[in-house]
Structure 1
Amino acid sequence: MAEEKYVIPEEPQYRVPDIRKLQDSDPVIASEIMNPTLIEPILESIAYHEKHKAELSEDGKIPAEQLPSGVPGGVPVLGKDGKVPPEQLPALGGHTAQAEEPENKNLLWIDTANDNIIKFYDPESETWKPVGAVWWR
């Protein structure tokens, strides 16, 4: 019985450049056995991932210099004040509790001057609106 999942070998017999070198004179007769419109994108994908894979450091983490910088999912670039600029923060990426409305419109705001009502910033009306509460028993 065949294995349920194919395990990719650590050292495959053919690497991307080797497969591309197959010619009709080779024993496998490349044009009859391989479909280049299917195989070529797979080979390009494998080559891309091999070229762009990160190496883990001794602690098992990806070193910061191998992470993309200033892009979603990457390492943020700090502003001149040493803080992450608001445009690099995700929407509703946290909360703050204070009496005055925060400058960062991506946060949930706990309005301590107004009975600790939780508010979000609505860009359409350009105002802070209370988050609707749901109660159940």
Structure 2
Amino acid sequence: MSARCAAREARRCGAPGRYISTLGDVFPALGTPGSGDDTADWTARAAAFVPPVLPESPAFQQALDLARTLARQGDTDEAWTVIETALPHWHSDSPHRIAPVILLTDPVLSDLITPDRARRIVTTPRGEGRG
């Protein structure tokens, strides 16, 4: 196989190291390679990472805030009622957000979500009263 064919095959097959230069722009080097401290640096960076908060419609955000307050006070049934009432008003401008995932990722609200409630979340018609 010629060197040209070998290079093309390596690109096609995703040879090891193929994306190193690209990833280096996204993930700057931490620590000194091979010194053993790069794992600790990456672990510290991952622990400190805070994902961006995705914006919710004002009406749905108000319901989330009220539900969190109720749940913290121990009134979990009322907190769920607030969320359930607000579900038809949830919407996203992204085709990749098909449900209010915040209900599963928020440490307070996720405790409210049972399998039956999760089904209710994904089967509630949405879009009425956008905003």
TM-score (norm 1): 0.29
Instruction: Answer 1 or 2: higher relative contact order, Cα 8 Å, separation at least 6.
Output: 2
Richer in helix (by share): 2
Larger radius of gyration: 1
TM-score (norm 2): 0.30
Richer in strand (by share): 1
